Structure 1
Amino acid sequence: MNPTDGKSISSRPALSEDERLDERKRERSEPIALPAHVAGSGRLDRLVDTARDYARAAASENTLKAYAKDWAHFARWCRMKGAEPLPPSPEMIGLYLADLASWSSLSPSKSASRPLSVSTIDRRLSGLAWNYAQRGFTLDRKNRHIATVLAGIKRKHARPPVQKEAILAEDILAMVATLPYDLPGLRDRAILLLGYAGGLRRSEIVSLDVHKDDTPESGGWIEIMEERALLTLDAKTGWREVEVGRGSKDRSCPVHALEQWLHFAKIDFGPVFVGISRDGKRAREKRLNDKHVARLIKRTVLDAGIRSELPEKERLAMFSGHSLRAGLASSAEVDERYVQKQLGHTSAEMTRRYQRRRDRFRVNLTTAAGL
């Protein structure tokens, strides 16, 4: 690879402070704008703002934050190498990926010098492709300088994915049993049971509204019926409906827990899951952050004594928001296609990745083949 067309990278002049400031301004500039030959007007300017809002809605907030960090990291790496991040150079990006897989030159700390995982490197590359697209460039990921380096990284460093522990039926019952019956307890009980029974992502849980179109940032809404609750979700794979049936007992029924929370919190409009006042007696209007779900799971796992034979640090690392989805997939003794539909997976293979405790040898092909 020859990323500098015969010139040594170290021979290229470093950016001045003013040039770096200009570059940062370019990086922060909005990608949606009027063509240069079109005169602006109040109505057109408003349409530009609207188009920018739609562009930002094309990806989740967490994804956009990750992509912004990816670009900042790559731009800093380029500056340290005396290179420019724009326009895209497949040769430089190939070197960047190789650096990520070996060691980081951006920090003197020992922990930061560890090679990144293959999945993180792949995500970084996706972030760069997205950022280049927003700036009017196309990054060809199939270019040999990128594709061959990435293929080599995957061949040499790829490892099986680290899966979070599934929260099984007995676990979720023990976790909700640790919660009090005050307002925060009612809310958190509804979050755990609804997330578990619906096989929901933590972002899907907190994005729910009471009704359709209650708020602009809504990710779905609920309909409570006699025998079940119907959730309409704007999920990663598109809109889907999730049915959550009533449980056999009130203490384990997700629909009953949801009704109790909405009733005592006096919520009949807007976000379903919100913050609570400091005295614990009044529901606020602001929607919960999805990090609350992750913290709630870890806290109740500890309080319930799940996997208590392990050190606390290991137990906290084993469970996350995805543990609820994995728990439903692993505990539901039904045909696999029903679990696939509930989780919103496009393939049965993806659903099987979530099934930690399924009977993998229910069909014995060895004996079926006559051995």
Structure 2
Amino acid sequence: MQPPAATAPSRTAGLVLDFLAYLEFERGLSRNTLDAYRSDLAQYAAFLAERGVEPLQATGDDITAFLDGLAAGGTNADGSERRPAAAATIQRKAACLRSFYRHVRREGLLEADPTTDVRGPRKREQLPKVLTRAEVAKLLAMPGRDGHVDPIVLRDRAILELMYACGLRASEATGLDVGDVDLQDAMLRARGKGSKERMVPIGRRAIDAVTRYVRDARGELVGGGVERALFVNARGGRLSRQGLYKIVQRHAKSAGLEDRMSPHTLRHSFATHLLAGGCDLRTLQEMLGHADIATTQMYTHLSAQRLQDVYRDAHPRARHA
């Protein structure tokens, strides 16, 4: 049973606030990550309070008990059942605690890190969904497929083409300003996680689609207003991530791909297709904006699995009779 987070000692609240400030201003973590860490630490502090322990007194056994309790589930204070947490959730909470105690130790408040020997459950690696080149072509052909072309159609076509051409995250696509896209030099400035900027080349199809959108559609959508955003909604304001998700889902449904699609699917497809075409990992890492090349290496596994799938489907003696 876990008491409400409000029972955590006031000193704990101060430690948490200092840690979150460090993450925000020195590490540049996103608001969503900060909110998740705040929630994780409140839950952890409440668990320790029930044991009569403060965070600076906690041992590896306390932390292991916290993580094991999450995995086991149990009963809440109101008598309701608490389902076991997913392995990915526990992995994130374990990472939060490791980062918290490393920070506390750097500040000189602890001599030893109690998370040193703590191991959370292994996160099962799931390869992301990727479209084939034919499926991408089908999706990108959806806007205006009936011959009707209006500003919304031109915008949607430009969004889909640019996301696939540059491997953009949804937040990067909606965060683009007009000045971030150099159509003459075929380069795009993307702002990734932690506000880190990177330059990505743009392919010819995407250049053509964005050029036509800017020339023939964006001004009509914006009207007489002043808007820096490249992609705008029907009211002329910056397109939101929710709006982008709806655009992708609408055209994915028309293409018969709705069960396999999200905005991130285009990013995964971009990376996989580049690797299959001979792009090296370091270049792909730079274009995707990954801080760690280990993240980029996921796509080598994906490419290998796709090769095996194609082989099994195509070779007459690859499968059992």
Q: TM-score scaled to structure 2, two decimals?
A: 0.70
CA RMSD between the two structures: 4.3
Q: For residue 327 of structure 1, what is the aligned residue in structure 2?
A: 269
**Once the 2 structures are TM-superposed, how far is the Cα of residue 86 of structure 1 from its aligned partner?**
3.6
Over residues 7-50 of structure 1, what are the superposed CA-to-partner deviations in whole Å (9 max), with x where a residue is unaligned? xxx9xxx9899x73974994699539xxxxxxxxxxxxxxxxxx
Seen in structure 2, the aligned counterparts of structure 1 residues 322 and 340 have a Cα distance that, compared at 3 Å, is: same
CA contact (8 A) 2:150 2:217 kept: no
Q: For residue 150 of structure 1, what is the aligned residue in structure 2?
A: 119
Q: What amino acid does structure 2 have at the position aligned with 1:243? A: P
Cα distance in 2 for residues equivalent to 1:168 and 1:330: 9
CA contact (8 A) 2:9 2:54 kept: no
**Once the 2 structures are TM-superposed, how far is the Cα of residue 89 of structure 1 from its aligned partner?**
1.4
Seen in structure 2, the aligned counterparts of structure 1 residues 235 and 86 have a Cα distance that, compared at 3 Å, is: closer
**Partner SS, residue 202 of structure 2:** strand
CA contact (8 A) 2:166 2:202 kept: yes
Structure 1 residues not aligned, in runs of 5+: 1-9, 33-50, 212-220, 278-282, 307-311, 362-371
1:113-192 equivalences under 5 Å are 113-117=83-87, 119-130=88-99, 133=103, 143=114, 146-150=115-119, 153-154=121-122, 158-159=123-124, 161-179=125-143, 181-192=149-160
**Partner SS, residue 190 of structure 1:** helix
Q: What amino acid does structure 2 have at the position aligned with 1:323? A: T
Q: For residue 314 of structure 2, what is the aligned residue in structure 1?
A: none
Over residues 292-322 of structure 1, what are the superposed CA-to-partner deviations in whole Å (9 max), with x where a residue is unaligned? 434433343222112xxxxx7xx2xx43332
Cα distance in 1 for residues equivalent to 2:33 and 2:97: 12
Identity of aligned residues (%): 24
Q: What amino acid does structure 2 have at the position aligned with 1:262? A: R
Corresponding position: 1:204 with 2:172? yes
CA contact (8 A) 1:175 1:304 kept: yes
**Once the 2 structures are TM-superposed, how far is the Cα of residue 244 of structure 1 from its aligned partner?**
0.6
**Once the 2 structures are TM-superposed, how far is the Cα of residue 139 of structure 1 from its aligned partner?**
7.8
**Partner SS, residue 247 of structure 1:** helix
Q: For residue 221 of structure 2, what is the aligned residue in structure 1?
A: 265
Seen in structure 2, the aligned counterparts of structure 1 residues 130 and 350 have a Cα distance that, compared at 3 Å, is: closer
Q: What amino acid does structure 1 have at the position aligned with 2:169? A: R
Cα distance in 2 for residues equivalent to 1:301 and 1:138: 53
Seen in structure 2, the aligned counterparts of structure 1 residues 69 and 341 have a Cα distance that, compared at 3 Å, is: same
1:3-152 equivalences under 5 Å are 20=7, 23=10, 26=13, 31=18, 55=25, 58-79=28-49, 81-87=50-56, 89-90=58-59, 91-106=61-76, 112-117=82-87, 119-130=88-99, 133=103, 143=114, 146-150=115-119
Over residues 203-228 of structure 1, what are the superposed CA-to-partner deviations in whole Å (9 max), with x where a residue is unaligned? 211222223xxxxxxxxx22221x62
Structure 2 residues not aligned, in runs of 5+: 309-321
From 173, 177, 183, give the equivalent of 1:224: 183
Seen in structure 2, the aligned counterparts of structure 1 residues 31 and 349 have a Cα distance that, compared at 3 Å, is: closer
Q: For residue 336 of structure 1, what is the aligned residue in structure 2?
A: 279
CA contact (8 A) 1:228 1:255 kept: no
Q: TM-score scaled to structure 1, two decimals?
A: 0.62
From 219, 244, 254, give the equivalent of 2:202: 244
Cα distance in 2 for residues equivalent to 1:200 and 1:275: 19
Seen in structure 2, the aligned counterparts of structure 1 residues 147 and 130 have a Cα distance that, compared at 3 Å, is: closer
Q: For residue 240 of structure 2, what is the aligned residue in structure 1?
A: 289
